Each structure stands twice: as structure tokens, then as C-alpha cells.
Structure 1
Amino acid sequence: MRRTALATLTLAAALLGTQPATADTESGWEPAPSSPWDVAAGVRCDFPVHGEPVVDEVVRRVLSTHPDGSERRVAYKGDLVIRVTNTETGVAHDADASGSAVVEYRPDGSQLWAVRGPVLVGVGEGQGTLPRGLYIVDGVYTMDISATGYKAVHLVRGTTDDLCARID
């Protein structure tokens, strides 16, 4: 979700009226803005969906790297509210995705997320332990994302909020 060029994302945040987080170079935290996104009908919900950050104060800090210098473990934190809109009807919901996470990026392209608090999770048909949809998963949990994109969410304690149902 947050792997595109920083300059482009900062510009997008400015155009959307959100203020990206500022860098704290002494502590190693840097802005990690989110981009607007669109998914077609049937991919996550039965209808097309648009998402865009309305509050984006997310920062990230690289905790460790692989021998080749690529990121291995990265911490994320900060306020994030995403407006999720059914583009057929215009019905929208502002979803709080302000959780914190440590993400391990593996050499094969898979990821392991250790999360506390709410995070937006999109799941394709047959691509996760949750049914196809868009969710705010809140609590203490891990999410193992395979190299093929399969998302296994393991709640220690928490809830899931079906955003497709909220904007249907």
C-alpha cells in the first residue's frame, strides 16, 4: 500500500487536502503517506470502491535490513483515516486505520505484519482467511501475506468491521 514514490504521494496528499506527517530525522521516523485507490466491482465488494486518505499522519522507521540493503523490518504508526466510497451510489464511510505495525518483508515477497489497533485489509476472492471484502481489523493480531497475496489474519484479540456492508 505504501510502496510508491514519496514525492508523488506527498503531492497527492496535498491535493487531497491532507497533511503528510513530517520527518523526524533524529529518531529515524519518516512520512509514509497513502495513495488514493480504486477497485472494480467484484474485486473486494459487489460494487466499485474508491478509497482516499482524509487524515494521514503515518510515519515509518526502518528497524533492520537484509544483507542486500533492502528493508527487512519496518515499523509504522500514526493517524490514518480513509474515506471509503461506493462509487455507484456515493455512500461513503470514514474508516479509522490508525493502528501501528511492524512489518517483516521477506526475500520471496511475502510479509508478516504484527499489528496493534485498526488497519484496513482488502481481501480478494479465495485470497485470505477472511471472505472477499474490505475490512477494518482492530485489536492485536498478525497478518501473514504470502508471496501470492493470500492474507492469513490471526486475531489474538480483536474485531473485524465489514466496510462493504457499511457502504452498500
Structure 2
Amino acid sequence: MRRAALAPLTLTAVLLGANPASAGTGPGWEPAPSAPWDVAAGARCDFPVHGEPVVDEVVQRVLSTYPDGSPRRIAYKGDLVVRVTNTETGAHHDADVSGSALVELRRDGSQFWTVAGPVLVGVAEGSLPRGLYVVDGMYTMDISASGYKDVRLLHATTDDLCARID
């Protein structure tokens, strides 16, 4: 099933504004650092994996809130390179995941992402097989409260990071 590409094009305009050179320097953008992470063997890859940012210039901007003040829609953008390491062998890959995303946080704990560019996607259960991927291009992700990820590739590619570091 294909959805109209209008939403991602709108996302790009919202994130970059009229002058892409000034993106991220205006009011309301705040740093959104990524923490290192670990996943056990079998959770994403057949072996344990460690991820750690080596470049992290991601910023976020809250675009709308719920009546209680909690974030409803957040835009993310900026340079991000994550070193993904097979902790059994030491094999690693530096993944450029410097995409932009508009994320809707729903009251039930689910999320809807509209993405332009590469983002790191870990899948335990979803429309992609279990794994770690760099998904690059225009796509959406509907993430249920239980963590199921429905990735809809509008015009995108996937790069299997588990295979890269096996």
C-alpha cells in the first residue's frame, strides 16, 4: 500500500523552513542527545549489539502539546552517526542516520513517525524482519504501544546492519 508523498514533503518544509542554511539555529530548537544502548543476542541481531553516537548534533523542537503541556508533535533533525558494534567479535559499522523526523506521540503510548532521510530502526516485531536497519528515504513508521513497528516505505531503502557486522 502506498500513501501520498505529500506528508513527507510537508515535513521537509516544516523542518527546514524557507532557508535551509539557518535550520536549527532559530528559537525553539533544543539539543536532543542520543544515549548509548545495548541489546541482547536475539533481540535484534543473532548476537549482542552496542550502539553509541560518535557524532551527535540532533536537535528537537516541540511543535504542539496536549492540554496538560506534554509533547504531542516533535520535529527532530541534525547530524547523527552511530557506531553499531557486534560485542562478540568487535566488528562495527558507523551508520550515518542524519535524517529528519516528525513524531506524533499518542496518548496510548503509540507513535507515528514521518521521516525524510536515514534513521536507525530497530525491529523486534514489525513489517520488517527482526533486526537493525538504516532506513533511508521517505517513509512512515506506525509504532504500537507494544512496540510493533509498521514501516511504510514510500520511496526508501533499507540497509541491514546485523549483516554488516556479523
Q: Is the shorter-chain TM-score for this pair beyond 0.5, marking a shared fold?
A: yes
Any residues of structure 2 matched to 1:91-110 within 5 Å, and which? 91-110=91-110
Matched, 1:53 2:53: yes
Query: What is the deviation of 1:67?
Result: 1.1
User: How many Å separate the matches in 2 of 1:89 and 1:77?
Assistant: 32
Cα drift, residue 66 of structure 1? 0.7
List alignment gaps of at least 5 residues for structure 2: 1-23
Instruction: Specify the alignment match of 2:76 in structure 1.
Output: 76
- Whole-Å separation in 2 of the counterparts to 1:101 and 1:51: 20
One-letter amino acid of the counterpart of residue 145, structure 2? A
Alpha-carbon deviation of 1:27?
1.3
Query: 1:149, 1:67 → 2: CA distance?
Result: 25
**Structure 2 counterparts to residues 67-146 of structure 1, below 5 A:** 67-124=67-124, 127-146=125-144
Taking the aligned partners of 1:154 and 1:132, their CA distance within structure 2 comes to 16
CA distance in structure 1 between the partners assigned to 2:86 and 2:56 by the alignment = 21
Number of residue pairs matched by the alignment: 143
What's the counterpart of residue 62 of structure 2? 62
Post-superposition shift, 1:162? 0.1
Relative contact order higher in (CA < 8 Å, ≥ 6 apart): 2
Counterpart AA for 2:163: A
- Identity of matched residues, %: 78
- TM-score normalised to the size of structure 2? 0.84
Q: Which letter maps to 1:143?
A: M
**2:139 is aligned with what amino acid?**
Y
Q: Which residue of 2 aligns with 1:9?
A: none
Find the aligned partners of 1:104 and 1:44 in 2 and give their Cα distance.
Answer: 24
Query: Within 1, Cα distance between the matches of 2:107 and 2:163?
Result: 36
CA distance in 2: counterparts of 1:113 and 1:163, whole angstroms: 21
What are structure 1's unaligned runs of at least 5 residues? Answer: 1-22
